[in-house]
Structure formats: C-alpha cells, structure tokens
Structure 1
Amino acid sequence: MARTSRRRRAAKLMAKPSVKAESFLDELKYNLDDRLSKLPNDILVNILDRLNCRDVTRTSVLSRQWSQLPAKLSWLKISARDFMHSQASVSDDELDEKLAKINTLRRINAINAANAAVVKATKSMLEHRDPGGCTIRLLSMAFYLRGDAPISIGHTVGNAMATHKVVKAEFTVLTEKEHTLIPDDVLNYGTRFVSFFNECHNAFAGLTRLELANLRFPESDFVSSILVTCKQLNYLGFHNCDTSDWITLQVEHAQLSELSIFDCRFDMVELTWVPKLTCLAFLFWRSSQELPLSLGYVPLLGVLRLSNIARTMHKMVKLSTLLHETSVRDMTLGFKCEKIWVQPECLTRRQAHVFQQLRILNLVNIPEGYDLTWTMFFLEAAPSLEELYMTVIDHPCEMLMDEELRREEFYSDNKGVEWESPTSNFKHHRLAKLTIFCFQSEDYMMSHVRRVMEAAVNLEDVYLFDRLTCDGCRGVTPLKPIRFPEESRHRRWVEKQIRKGGIESLATIHFLGTGAIRGDILARIATGY
C-alpha cells in the first residue's frame, strides 16, 4: 500500500499542472524575478557587464528597470558574431567554417542581419546614455565591412567619444570572406574600408585598438594615414593586408605598445620610432628573400614573435643584426614544419649584449628528423635564459605534400641546419626548465636532451610531452612512426640513454601525456606559427 501511495503522488507531480498549480509556479517565478530586480542597479549592471551584447539586449525586455540598464554599462562588447543566431555559441574559426558551407545568398543575408543588430544595439546603448553618467571603461565593436553599417557605427561611436569619457575603444573589422580570397576581393574590401575611414575620422582618432584583415589599400600611403589619424592606438593588427604598390612602411607612433603584422605584403616594415612598443608579432614574409623588418627606436620591446615558411630563396636571418638595439626578454620563433631560417652565430664580444636580457625562448614547429644541435646557439648567446620550449612536429594537414608542387614552389628538401659550437665544455648557469612537446625516443632527440643537461648545470626540470593533438591531422597517418615512451619500462630505458656517459645533472625528467599539461606550460603552446 505504501508503494502504491508513493506512485500516486509521483504521478500527480508528473501530470500536467492544474490552473491552481500553474498560478503557484507563476507566482514563485515572479517572486524570484522580483527578488533579483530588488538588487541595487550597480550590482545588476555589474552582472550585465559580464554578458555578451546579445544576452544583454534580451534582458532589456524583462521590465522598464531592466530596459534602462544597458545604457549604464561600463564594459560594452558588441560583436556581429554574437548576433549570428544559432551560430552564436561557436568559436570564430568554427563560425567561419560553417559560414563557408552555406550558399552565398544565405551568408550575406546572415551577415547583413548581424550588422543591423550591431547598429541597433550600438545606438540603443550609446545614444540614450547620460553624458554625466559612468565612464565607459571598454567600448569594443566587431562588425562586417558591408553596407552602410560601418559608417553608422562609426558616427555613433564618434559622437559617444565626444560626449562621454571612453577609456578604451576597439574596432575589429571583419570581411564576409575569410578564406580563398582573390585579388579583386581584397581590393574591394580595401576600397570599402577607405570610404569608412574617411567618413569616420572622429571615431578612429579615439581608438585604442584596431584589427584589420583582408584589405588591399588602393593608395600606397594610406597605412601611414591610419597611423597619423589613430594617435591613441595601443594595439594595431594587420592580417593579409597590403597596398596596390609594394611599399616601405615606416612606423612612427607615440602610443603604440603592440603591433601584429601577419601574412602581409610590404616591401619593408621599418619601426622607425615607436618608443612604447613592448610586443611585436611579425609572421610570414613568403615573397621576400630577406626578413623585411627593421627595428629602429623600440627601447621597450620585450616580446618578439617571428615565424615563416622558409623556402630555398629565403636567406638565413641573423638575429644579432635584427635585435642589435633591443632588449627582448621573451621570444617565439616559428618554422611551420619547414626549413630552419635562423642562422646560428658565433657572437663577437660586440654582439654579445643582443641576447643578454632573453629569459624565455619558444621554438615552434621545428621539422622532425633533423639534428637539433643548432639550438644550442641560443644557450651560448643568452646567459640569462631560464626557460626553453621546443615543439618538434610535422603537420601533414598544413604542409605541402606533393613532391612536384614542392619543387615548383621552391620548398627545401633538406630542412635542417648544421652548427658546431666553437666553445668546448660550455656551461649555462640560469636555465631551469627545458620543455619539449612531441618528444620521441629517437637518437637525435635523446642526444639533444643529454646535450642540454650537460651544459645547463642548474637545470631543475625536463618535461617531455607526448605528441600534441591536431584537429587537421586527426586520422591522418604521421609521416614518421611516433615513438613516445608510454610504458614505464620504455621510459626507464629512455632516461638511461639520456643520462649515459656519467651526466651529473640533478634535473628531474618528466614523461607526460598532453592531458597533463599545466596551465603555465599550456600557455606556451603557440598556435599559428
């Protein structure tokens, strides 16, 4: 009987609620909503500051009180990507892939709708704002370079800058095509951007961050115009940008602290006078024989990112020549699984100061199977180096695999570089951590770890990680068999091979799967290099 009674009660609970029950649930919901609405406005605004713009606009329909809160936000992040409806929860790369798969008309309609939503949200949040209200800490806008939306957004933002205090203002300019662009596409986008820029000088003059992609500017001096107009910029990013004529881009800017130039075609980039620059990323100079970069007055430059897909026509880069007037502390060099483009050097006494401040070095996507002795050049050149990271891997998904095409495109068959240290019994006293991603129990890798352990007398930890997973290479047969020591017996054998010859190093060798990567090391896994 007791069991039957419990079943009846359960059935009642699962049945469709009665009118009375529905009224009770509505009342309960109202009480909960009312309890939230009774919170002070500053707490509600703090909550909304943590949401994306699409979610913020949804809350404005709850009540008159909620409808007034968006105009009080101090952190405004309005992105067209957040208004792509069902796509709003995916990452940028996934969204680009999804958009590429649907037909052009549907894609353009989705982009136009998202842009319209950005215009509406921007006006709603900025035009109804009390000029004497709270400071706008961040005004971040991401929108597509299509139709009248950019100019409308630019005017609204420019007016807000004139009537409110805006600490940081950011524009991320998107294009409807991200991949498989043709010259007419980038020229068309560049022409659109020039019109947008010329119409909205007030907005650009107040920007602290600007990201541009897929633009070919019809006027060769237009990039200089951006630098002259955008005097408040702290960050400037160019991705796949150039001018109709190859130019020497001279960068002079009083406020710029971070500059990113990725896959752009400039004859030369000269950082003539950038006194506050602390971080520089210069990635891929495929069409130039020599590194088209010159570092002038950049006294605060501490973080440097360089990467290239080197081919037979590319000349080796002497870093001592490039960095002769800098004090770089954190450097990442990427090789995209192709030819090593760094020239190991025997530094003279006059050159020795170049690497004196280097503390962290990250060598990314070194091609597999080649002697790694050349990397010892950095230990000898950088006496203050504390952390050395290396990723040795071939990515078939990113590499040109067809042998005939490789010959036509001047890819190198021999990707390695030879170097022999002129200093016998060299010792390094500061290196504390050596990390190798994609370690394999091959002779050239084990001998290199032994070489570093012999030289770095105060080395504390050696982290040897399994092969990093790559979505593009998933399911693709590796070019060479993978031999990471999985079993404890194999690991003991590898450690014995590394330590043979009477190495006196007290460093602990850790064999780890990629799932065991700590946060501090995870941050050092560079992508896109």
Structure 2
Amino acid sequence: MTSTVQSLLLSSMEQNNKPQDEDRLGALTDDILLSILGSVDLATAARTSALSTRWRSLPWLLPDLNLHVRDFLPAPCPDYPVAAGQQIYFYSQIPAQHIDEAMASLTRAARSFLRIKGSSRVSRTSLEIYLIGNYSHDIGPLVRDAIDNGMIKELDLTIADDKDYDCKGGDMLRKARDVDGFFSAYPNILPCLTRLQLYNLRFAEGDIHNVLFDCCKQLQHLSLEHCDVGDCSVWQVDAPNSVLRVLEVRYSYLKRLEVLCLPKLELLSWEAWMHCEPPLHFGYVPSLKELFLVCGADLEHSGFSLSQLLDGATEIHTLTLNFQGEKVISYHFSIDCATCF
C-alpha cells in the first residue's frame, strides 16, 4: 500500500509540469491529501511540496510527524526495514557515509518541521536517530523546544546502532553513556516518551531502572535489543506506578529478568536468552495476557519447568513458544489458549 501511494505521488510530481495532464490529486480535499501523505515517509511527503502552491504547505500540516533516519538513506539497504511499523533489527551493512548523510538530511528536516509546524496539528511524533557526530546536539534542542512549546506531547524514540550482536562490553558501556548523556542534556524528553527502542547498551542497574521507570512516566512500549546490566546479571523491575504495557527483550546476556511489579504489563516477549536457566521470574503482573518465549536452545541449555517459570502470571491467555532445541521438560499451567511452534 505504501509503495503504491509513493509511486503515485512521484508520478504526479514528474507529470506536474505537463499542462495537458489533468491534476487528479489536486481535485481532492485537503483532508484526503493529508491522509495520503500520512501513508508515505516524511522525505517523500516533503518532496510533494514542489507540486504546486496548494501542495506547498500540506506536508507541514500532517498530524503525525515521523522523522526516521531510514527514510533519508541515500541508497536502499536490503537489511533495513522501510515500513515505520516494521521491526528494526541491526543494520551493520549500511556504509558509515550513508548513515552520516541520512542523519544530515534528517537534521535539516527536523529543523524545518519542528520550527514551522503549528502545535495544534501534531498528535504524535516518532523519531529514529543515530547518536553520532554532533547531530544529537542539533536535534536535541529542537525536540526539547518542541516539547516546551507544546508541539510534542508524546514521543516514540528509537536510538539506532550500526553494530550487530557481537558488540563488546566496552562498546556497550560507551553507548550507554552516550544515551544517558543525551537524556541528561535534554531531560524533558523522558517524561514524553511513550515508546522507546534501544540497542547494544550496558546500563548500571540503578541507572536503567531510574531512566526507564522513574523518569518515563508515559512509557507504554519498551524494546531492548542486546541490552543488559552486565553479563550474568539479574535485572529486577519493581515499578508499581509504571504504565508500561509491552516489554520486548532480544539477545540479552541477562541471567534473569525478575518482574517484581508491573501492574499494567500486558505483553512480554523474550527472544534468545544466552544463559542456561529459566530467564524469567514473575511477581505482581495482574494484567499480563500474552507471553512469547523464543530461543534456539541447544544441548548446553538445561530444561526447565514452565509451571515454575510462570508462577505468579495467572492471567495469561496466549502463550507462544518456539524452542528449537526442544528443552521444555514439563508444563503444568492452566491457560485458555496456547500457541506453540
């Protein structure tokens, strides 16, 4: 759908200078045109401002502002998702020069949109950036000011990374310091976050809990890729005031995640834990309905009892399991629906 709309818009731009061609899109109302623009990436939407005088201001009236570095890459990357809702994995095959060019273009777009857009038009803002060079010092103040003037009230933030899962502990610590430095420089960002996705970070235990649960009052969706608080560490989450609904963990060297209290949590997904024991312990999770456990277990993984792992999670109705090594040894838990692969 998105690619079809994008092709239609680009075709209209190419034909715009031909007087004999009928401007079919121009005959539509502004609301319909904004709906069309909302289904393509921001870079394409901005290009349509060259179509005519009428189109010139339309991209700046979009209610949702999606500033994604993926949309500004100078060349497509096969491993890089192009849809905003598609899961982002690692993209180490992107040349460093392309990342730099994309961040430069995104910064220019952020400066244009965040300084011009009227605050009454914005309902949601999504930002995906790399913390490289000085770009964070350019984008950070723009986001900070947009929050202060009421333009941004809810923010989806992805801090991307160009390393894969082989990223070493020292690099993870450095990246965590960079992220912490960004949030420390612009502290009003944290209370606005509704969704946060992070990669390759090794936090101090107190820091990760303070940042993700004490400061992020609106955070509803948290995705951590190759993040931990140290090898073989135990991360305890005790956040009775948190509104977090979705927690995703992938490729972590955590020994165990202990969810002591997350009253609003509805979905938890853990993919590929590295240690040979049950990865989860539940305390107070009265809203937890869906649990996804995916791991390519091998002979080094010891089997464990699902009934013991799920003790405390009594409201689950959808359980998805994918244990390629078939190491689940027993299961004695009552649920309404179980999906196993």
Q: Same fold (TM over 0.5)?
A: yes
Are 2:49 and 2:56, in contact at CA under 8 Å, matched by a contact in 1? yes
Opposite residue 74 of structure 1, the aligned amino acid is: P
| 1:76 equivalenced with 2:65 (yes/no) | yes
CA shift, 1:96, in A, is 8.3
User: Are positions 1:315 and 2:302 aligned together?
Assistant: yes
User: What pairs up with 1:179-328 in 2 under 5 angstroms?
Assistant: 180-217=166-203, 219-226=204-211, 227-244=213-230, 247-251=233-237, 252=239, 253-287=241-275, 289-325=276-312, 326-328=314-316
Structure 1 residues 179 and 241: CA distance shift in structure 2, 3 A = closer
TM, length-normalised to structure 2: 0.83
Task: Show the counterpart of 1:434.
Answer: none
- Cα 1:265–1:116 change in 2 (3 A) is same
Q: 1:274 to 1:179 in 2, by over 3 A?
A: closer
- 1:61 and 2:50 correspond: yes
Partners of 1:48 and 1:121 lie apart in 2 by 16
Q: Is the 8 A contact 1:77 1:141 kept in 2?
A: yes
Aligned residue pair count: 316
Matches within 5 A, 1:311-390: 311-325=298-312, 326-335=314-323, 337-338=324-325, 340-345=326-331, 347=332, 354-355=333-334, 357-363=335-341
**CA–CA distance in 2 between the matches of 1:282 and 1:200?**
30
Distance verdict in 2 for CA 1:212–1:75, change over 3 Å: same
Q: Following the alignment from structure 1 to structure 2, what is the Cα–Cα distance between the partners of residues 295 and 186? A: 27
User: Where does 1:456-475 land on structure 2 (aligned, <5 Å)?
Assistant: none
Query: Structure 1 counterpart of 2:251, which letter?
Result: D
- How far the C-alpha of 1:111 sits from its partner, in A, is 0.6
- CA distance in 1: counterparts of 2:184 and 2:231, whole angstroms: 21
1:303 positional shift: 0.8
Q: Cα distance, 1:157 vs. partner? A: 2.4
CA distance in 2, matches of 1:39, 1:120: 29
Shift of 1:179: 5.1
1:145 and 2:131 correspond: yes
Query: For 2:259 and 2:247, how far apart are their aligned partners in 1?
Result: 10
Alpha carbons 1:71, 1:126 under 8 Å: kept? no
Aligned-partner Cα distance in 1 for 2:27–2:154 = 31
Distance 1:292 1:45 in 2: 46
Q: What is the rounded CA distance, in whole Å, between the counterparts of 1:117 and 1:311 in structure 2?
A: 45
Structure 2 unaligned blocks of 5 or more? 1-16, 83-87
Structure 2: how far apart are the matches of 1:255 and 1:284?
26
Separation in 2, partners of 1:228, 1:333:
32
What SS class does the counterpart of residue 212 from structure 1 fall into?
A: strand
Task: Find the aligned partners of 2:174 and 2:113 in 1 and give their Cα distance.
Answer: 31
In structure 2, C-alpha distance between the alignment counterparts of 1:193 and 1:122, rounded to whole Å: 19
Give the TM-score normalised by structure 1: 0.55
| Partner-residue secondary structure (3-state), 2:222 | strand
RCO (CA 8 Å, sep 6+): is it higher in 1 or 2? 2
Say what the alpha-carbon RMSD is for the aligned residues.
Answer: 2.7
Indicate how the Cα distance of structure 1 residues 72 and 93 shifts in structure 2: closer, same or farther if over 3 A, else same: closer
Whole-angstrom CA distance in 2 between matches of 1:166 and 1:331: 36
Could you list the per-position Cα deviations for residues 137-196 of structure 1 after superposition, in whole angstroms to 9, with x for gaps in the alignment?
321111222122234333322322333365642111111223543334323322221211
C-alpha distance 70-300 of structure 1, shift in aligned 2 (>3 A): same
Listed as ranges, the gaps of 5+ residues in structure 1 are 1-24, 348-353, 364-529
Cα 1:91/1:318, change in 2 over 3 Å: same
SS of equivalent to 1:86: coil
Amino acid across the alignment from 2:262: V
| Aligned-pair CA distance for 1:244 | 4.5
Q: 1:311, 1:128 → 2: CA distance?
A: 55
Answer with 203-212 or 60-69: which moved more: 60-69
User: Within 2, Cα distance between the matches of 1:208 and 1:240?
Assistant: 21
CA contact (8 A) 2:201 2:226 kept: yes
One-letter amino acid matched to 1:243: V
CA distance in 2, matches of 1:111, 1:284: 28
Give the match's secondary structure for 1:249. strand
Runs of 4 or more consecutive aligned structure 1 residues displaced over 4 Å after TM superposition: 93-99, 165-168
Residues 165, 251 of structure 2: 8 Å contact kept: no
Q: Distance in 2 between matches of 1:237 and 1:160?
A: 25
Q: Distance in 1 between matches of 2:25 and 2:330?
A: 64
Task: Report deviation, 1:97.
Answer: 9.0
